[in-house]
Amino acid sequence: MSERKNDQFQRRNRPPSEKIIDIGFKNLAIAMASMVAVILFGILLVIFLGSIESMGRYGLRFLVTSDWNPVTDDYGAFTAIYGTIVTSVASLMIAVPLGVGTAIFITENIIPQNIRELIGIMVELLAAIPSVVLGLWAIFVMEPFIRPFLTSLNNSYSWIPFLSTEPVGPALAPAILILVVMILPIITAISRDSLNQVPAKLREAAYGIGATRWSTIFNVILPAAISGITGGVLLALGRAMGETMAVTMIIGNSNNFSLSLLAPGNTIAAMLANQFGEADGSQVSSLMFAAFILMILTLSVNIFAQWMVKRLSLKY
Amino acid sequence: MDKSKQVCKPQNKTTISLQNVTISYGKFEAVRNVYCDIQKGKVTSLIGPSGCGKSTILRAINRMNDLIPSCSLNGRVLFEGADLYDPRIDPVEVRRRIGMVFQQPNPFPKSIYENIAFGARINGYKGDMDQLVESSLRQAAVWDECKDKLNDSGYSLSGGQQQRLCIARTIAIEPEVILMDEPCSALDPISTLKIEETMHELKKNFTIIIVTHNMQQALRVSDMTAFYNAEIKEGAAGGKCGYLVEFNDTDKIFNSPVQKATQDYISGRFG
Amino acid sequence: MNLFYKHTSRRNLSNTILTLITGLFATLAVLPLILVILYVLIKGASQININLLTQLPEPPGDDLNSGGIGNAVIGTFVVTGIGALIAIPIGVGGGIYLAEYSRNGPFSKFIRFGTNVLSGVPSIIAGVFVYGVIVSTKVIFGSNFSGLAGGIALSILMLPTVIKTTDEGLKLVSDELRKGALGIGASKFITITRITLPAALTPIATGIVLALARAAGETAPLIFTALFSFYWAEGSEALLEPIATLSVLIYNFALEPYEAQNKLAWAASFVLVLIILTTNIISRFISKYASSK
């Protein structure tokens, strides 16, 4: 390259230090990005290695037996798996209509804009309340408040297996309700974003041919937003399965299996929170096995959710 | 600018030489087989219909195409005899000698003063910064508008002033060549005129290559003009592949073009 | 022809009913927030005084003097701070890689996918992981339960959010700015640190603050990493010993059968919710103010 006389720019040719910083910075950034993969594989590896002993001893029997006895050293996770699935699915069944309904209410032009924004912010702030505080509230406020209703449910419908025991305090049912509170913000926020992404021209097209607000919502807007909403619902399902603190505080942490939602039960996450600190020997391995099952459940739900959300972004 | 530089600058010397340059995006050729020698101390315009690859060629000269991952170049681009696409070449150093002004004015979200000083500092400028800022802004003909608000944000200026600030920013690193990619396309006619006046001043010290879709502008500002055309081609980028039709002195291109395509284009029969 | 609105037509009636139902749902959705905040205020705020914030908790017992939450307040800041010190450099660095170096490369796509997956990993699993790698192996200077282990567990939860906000914040920076810097011979490092990162500072900072607020309330990753302590964290090895946090204090004391401890849990909830909600509201306000400017 040409050289100039009296060039006042000393770094026209870059000194090696500058190039080293440039390359070093890039490699540092790559290393840090890789940490995500390292942690993710680390988690899977640690939990898998920890559960090998228990896997070898119980195999798939672990999934279907409900003994959990540290004294006789015999473990089966069915109670916790049942609790995990029942609480998350039941909470989803309540939270989806509530969340999607709220999202419609705050994206449609029903009430003034600033009130809609306020509702949106309040729902988002609800997501910021720590799980443990909701658990505290559930123990001392919510559960005593709903117990009479649960008792009357039991009195009237005790022939239904899910309502067959008398409520005495912590149980699956209040855990389901607190889970509703925890996943409602996710469903509402993602549904709202999906509804907002529906192009205005679709709505105008429907209104333009004389459709009412609700026929527009049901026939045009919801179908256009459905894969985003489904993705949000699946993310919420993953969250509900792994949610720990509030659930462990209100579910009763019982390892005795009962079909009834009014009886104390357990979830995998609650069991881990409750027992992991004090466990030793083969109990640790069995807890790791349970954690591995939880990890597989949430991973598959989350990956499926991501796939659904990606389908949405391809659509427009 | 110090005089010694101007004295030792020979006239009609090739500074940039494109030798059989073909640029592709992925598998698709955007522009191909370009031969072109650009002379030092002159203003050269690249004109042609959209999709003819003139901006692609311009960006190849200071390796801005490196930012597009799928973009690849065959052939040689020589700058003062050195092959810019030699693997040992550092593209950052290339850009310190061949500066660029873009289509959209893009001042940094910093003060006017810092906008100029930033580039000079990263190039290791050791002289008087205040003086450099002033002389750069003067050369870009924007000093009078800026001198009382050097500490205001670059965004406080109008679009035309912002573009001249960007030119000043490029001048401040004292490159040998300044590339301008349709620098006036986002500006009003009065700002355009001012920037054209600026370019007349600048060519005393710099080699300038400008891409423009405005033929009157090419006629007004440039000494040399290269006319590119595009042909429809299956499987090319955007369905078109560009090539260099004719390269000559500007008045020859506009008054007595050799190729019929050039004739058609400048007389407005297509494009 | 009569175009007047007919309240009694089936179409209009069903429309009104559906609108009312969604309004009811929206009310139900905000009700828990109001109720929780109300109870935290009623049961927690009334107990707040200087002694509560400066004293140590008493060991549980049927004793009306339960002490204070001073060490837990400090512990929450310490453990969250450790998490931030780990997660922010890694997360910002990773986000820079995704947005600036390889926006659509296969490795970036893989890392983005991994980030989303990691953000869906239950927080208790992060605790189990850190327990397995750090606590049970005593790999850090032979200490097992420690504030440091708790901070590391929290950093795993913060990391995906920090990466995502950095990635998205940088993507919002106009490409023109990047080209402007590179076009005058700035290296990639200079372009990122001096131009694009400062331009994206507000969204990145907001996202990080929200991640910190969220982590400050996390309990599950701490119960068997940071554990709990009835003492002040002091001395040169304080970070290598178990440390109290507000969230674990709430968990432990909520389940005690004694009323004095339960009251302390409510007081701690008030302080924790106050910290988290004010951080949330302030950072939202700042980001809204900055984006309107």
Residues C30-47 have pLDDT tens digits of: 999 999 999 999 998 888
- In this predicted structure, what is the pLDDT of residue B271? 45
- In this predicted structure, what is the pLDDT of residue A299? 94
Scanning chain C, the segments in alpha helix (DSSP H) are: 10-44, 50-54, 70-96, 106-119, 123-130, 147-172, 175-183, 188-190, 197-199, 201-216, 246-254, 259-292
User: Residue A264 above 60 pLDDT?
Assistant: yes
User: Residue C191 above 90 pLDDT?
Assistant: yes
Residue C210 in domain: yes
User: Residue C229 above 70 pLDDT?
Assistant: yes
Searching chain C, which residue's CA lies closest to the CA of residue B121?
A: C186
Domain range for C266 = 68-292
In angstroms, the separation between the Cα of residue C113 and the nearest Cα of chain B is 21
- Grouping H, G, I as helix, E, B as strand and the rest as coil, residue B18 is strand
Q: Predicted confidence band at A212 (pLDDT cuts at 50, 70, 90)? A: confident
**Cross-chain Cβ contact A123/C29 below 8 Å:** yes
| Mean of pLDDT values over B147-174 | 91
- Grouping H, G, I as helix, E, B as strand and the rest as coil, residue B32 is strand
- In this predicted structure, what is the pLDDT of residue C104? 85
Domain range for B261 = 13-266
Residue A9 in domain: no
User: Residue B6 above 50 pLDDT?
Assistant: no
Please count the structural domains in chain B.
Answer: 1
Average pLDDT, chain C: 90
- In this predicted structure, what is the pLDDT of residue B270? 54
Residue-wise pLDDT for A118-135, tens only, equals 998 998 899 999 999 999
- In this predicted structure, what is the pLDDT of residue B222? 93
> Between A5, A8, A19, which is nearest B125 by CB?
A8
> Between B69, B104, B169, which is nearest C184 by CB?
B169
- In this predicted structure, what is the pLDDT of residue A316? 45
> Between A5, A8, A14, which is nearest B93 by CB?
A14
- In this predicted structure, what is the pLDDT of residue A199? 87
Residue C224 in domain: yes
* Residue A308 belongs to domain with CATH number: 1.10.3720.10
Task: Extract the tokens encoding C38.
Answer: 């109300």
| Mean of pLDDT values over B99-106 | 92
Please count the structural domains in chain C.
Answer: 1
**Cross-chain Cβ contact B166/C186 below 8 Å:** no
- In this predicted structure, what is the pLDDT of residue B238? 63
Subunits with 3+ C-beta pairs closer than 8 A to A: B, C
In our burial notation (b when 16+ CB lie closer than 10 A, e otherwise), range A196-232 reads eebeeeebeebeeeebebbebbeebbbebbebbbbbb
Average pLDDT, chain A: 89
pTM, two decimals, is 0.89
Q: Predicted confidence band at B13 (pLDDT cuts at 50, 70, 90)? A: confident
| Mean of pLDDT values over C121-136 | 92
Domain range for A275 = 61-315
- d(CA C129, CA C150) in angstroms, rounded, equals 11
Residue A48 in domain: no
Residue A37 in domain: no
- In this predicted structure, what is the pLDDT of residue C293? 55
User: Residue C111 above 70 pLDDT?
Assistant: yes
User: Residue A238 above 80 pLDDT?
Assistant: yes
* Residue C215 belongs to domain with CATH number: 1.10.3720.10
User: Residue A312 above 80 pLDDT?
Assistant: no
Cα distances (Å, whole numbers) of residue B28 to B24, B76, B233, B238 = 5, 19, 10, 9
**Cross-chain Cβ contact C185/B108 below 8 Å:** no
Q: How many CA atoms lie within 13 A of A240 on its CB side?
A: 35
Nearest to C52 by CA among C41, C63, C68: C68
| Mean of pLDDT values over C251-273 | 92
In our burial notation (b when 16+ CB lie closer than 10 A, e otherwise), range C250-284 reads bbbbbbbeeebbbbbbbbbbbbbbbbbbebbeebb
| Mean of pLDDT values over C95-106 | 91
* Residue B67 belongs to domain with CATH number: 3.40.50.300
Q: Predicted confidence band at A11 (pLDDT cuts at 50, 70, 90)? A: low
- In this predicted structure, what is the pLDDT of residue C1? 66
**Cross-chain Cβ contact B126/A10 below 8 Å:** yes
- In this predicted structure, what is the pLDDT of residue B8? 42
Q: Predicted confidence band at B235 (pLDDT cuts at 50, 70, 90)? A: low
Most confident of A36-45, A150-159, B203-212: A36-45
- In this predicted structure, what is the pLDDT of residue B10? 46
User: Residue A52 above 90 pLDDT?
Assistant: yes
Q: Which of A5-14, B49-58, B239-248 has the lowest mean pLDDT?
A: A5-14
CB C204 within 8 A of CB C169: yes
Chain A interface, best mutation among C6, C20, C33, by max A CB count within 10 A: C33
- In this predicted structure, what is the pLDDT of residue C150? 95
> Between C12, C131, C265, which is nearest A136 by CB?
C265
Q: Which of A65-74, A79-88, B69-78 has the lowest mean pLDDT?
A: A65-74
Put simply, whether A8 touches B (Cβ < 8 Å) is yes
| Mean of pLDDT values over A166-192 | 93
- In this predicted structure, what is the pLDDT of residue A301? 94
Residue C39 in domain: no
Residue A113 in domain: yes
Average pLDDT, chain B: 87
Put simply, whether A9 touches B (Cβ < 8 Å) is yes
User: Residue B28 above 90 pLDDT?
Assistant: no
Tell me the chain B residues in contact with residue A1 when contact means C-beta distances shorter than 8 Å: 79-80, 82, 93, 97
Searching chain B, which residue's CA lies closest to the CA of residue C101?
A: B67
Angle at CA of residue A67, ends A61 and A70, nearest 5° = 115
User: Residue A152 above 80 pLDDT?
Assistant: yes
Residue C42 in domain: no
Put simply, whether C182 touches B (Cβ < 8 Å) is yes
| Mean of pLDDT values over A87-96 | 96
Residue-wise pLDDT for C237-256, tens only, equals 778 889 999 999 999 999 98
Residue-wise pLDDT for C7-21, tens only, equals 777 788 888 899 999
- d(CA A307, CA C7) in angstroms, rounded, equals 44
- In this predicted structure, what is the pLDDT of residue C65? 74
Residue B7 in domain: no
Chain B interface, best mutation among A11, A18, A20, by max B CB count within 10 A: A11
User: Residue B269 above 90 pLDDT?
Assistant: no
For A116, other C-beta atoms within 10 Å of its C-beta total 18
- In this predicted structure, what is the pLDDT of residue B1? 40
